[in-house]
Amino acid sequence: MKKRIICTVCPQGCEITATFEGDKIVEFTGYGCPRGVEFARTEFTNPLRILSTSVKVEGGCYPLVSVRSDRGIPRSDLMDCMDIIRQVSVKVGTKRGSVVIEHILGSEANVITTADAK
C-alpha cells in the first residue's frame, strides 16, 4: 500500500510517498531532504500536535485566557484532552507560562497559559 503526504516542514512542499508492507513503512520517495523522511514517518505512525484552546478566568475582566500544550500530544488524544481542559479554570493574576494541568492524560505534556489572566 502507498500513502502520500505533502511535507510541511519547509516551503518546498515535497510530495512524499510512503510504501507500506503491513504496518511497516519500507520505502520513502519524493522527499527533498532527510527532514522530510522524519516528518512523513511521524505523520504516518504517531502524529503529534500542539493543542491550543482557552480556559475560564475566575474574577477577571476577560472571561478567558489562552492555553496550549507545551509539547506535541498524539493526534488521537486531542478530543479527550479538550474534555479535561474544559473542566479547569485559573485565578485572575495567573501569569503567562503557568502550568494549568500537569502531564495531561498521563503524557509528558503540560498545559500552560499563553497570556496573563486579566
Footprint on this chain of other proteins (rule: CB under 8 A):
5-6, 8, 11-14, 32, 47, 49-54, 56, 62-64, 66, 68, 75, 78-79, 82, 96, 114-115
Q: Is 9 in the site for ligand SF4 (CB under 6 A)?
A: yes
Task: Report the residue from 18, 28, 31, 111 that binds ligand SF4 according to the rule CB under 6 A.
Answer: 31
Give the one entry of other proteins, ligand SF4, none that residue 93 binds, where binding means its C-beta sits below a cut-off of 5 to 8 angstroms depending on kind. none
DSSP string covering the chain = -EEEEE--SSTT--EEEEEEETTEEEEEES-SSHHHHHHHHHHHH--EE--EEEEEEET-SSSEEEEEESS-EEGGGHHHHHHHHTT-EEETTPPTT-EEESSGGGSSPPEEESS---
Tell me the per-residue interface mask from 51 to 90 with ligand SF4, x by CB under 6 A, - otherwise.
----------------------------------------
* Residues in contact with ligand SF4 by the rule CB under 6 A: 7, 9-10, 12-14, 31-33, 35-36
